[in-house]
Amino acid sequence: MNEEFPVGGYAKTERLVYFARMCSKARLMQRGVLPEAYHAYIGTGFDGRCCRLLKVEYSDIKRLVSEGKSDDEILEWCYANGYRPTDEEVFIWNAFMQKRGWNDDDTPYLQAEKESIGLGDCDEIQTLFDLYEIEEGHRPRPG
């Protein structure tokens, strides 16, 4: 079976970055086409942060995905059954997520990942979202 990559981290559902990626990973996992390297992070890491922001359980996201709900429908369910972030909280969430890996505690991890794909010296990859974009083919590979 062919592997498929999820949508990039910059993709928004309504106002939130990353939510679409979390749902995309859940769909690909259910279809059995999400690359093995992603399995350990399902429901944890950024997925966990997103669920904590919305005050929902990842198991609910998986269930709603399996019911065939769209990203927008799942997000509305989260708002109704968990928490709807304020404009300020969305601004902080989006800024925080889009900058992960840039001069923070994830920088060593980002550098190691860049080196593992032969792009250790690539200055175009400054954040984890940038890494996803290039590694998964959402943006052309530099050089």
Q: What is the pLDDT of residues 91-108, one digit of tens each?
A: 999 999 999 999 999 999
Tokens of 45: 């890491």
Tokens of 122: 């690539």
DSSP string, 17-79: ESHHHHHHHHHHHHHT-S-HHHHTTTTSHHHHHHHHHHT--HHHHHHHHHTT--HHHHHHHHH
Q: What is the pLDDT of residues 13-70, one digit of tens each?
A: 999 999 999 999 999 999 999 999 999 999 999 999 999 999 999 999 999 999 999 9
Cα distances from 40 to residues 43, 52, 64, 118, in angstroms, run 9, 18, 21, 23
User: Is the pLDDT assigned to residue 1 strictly greater than 70?
Assistant: no
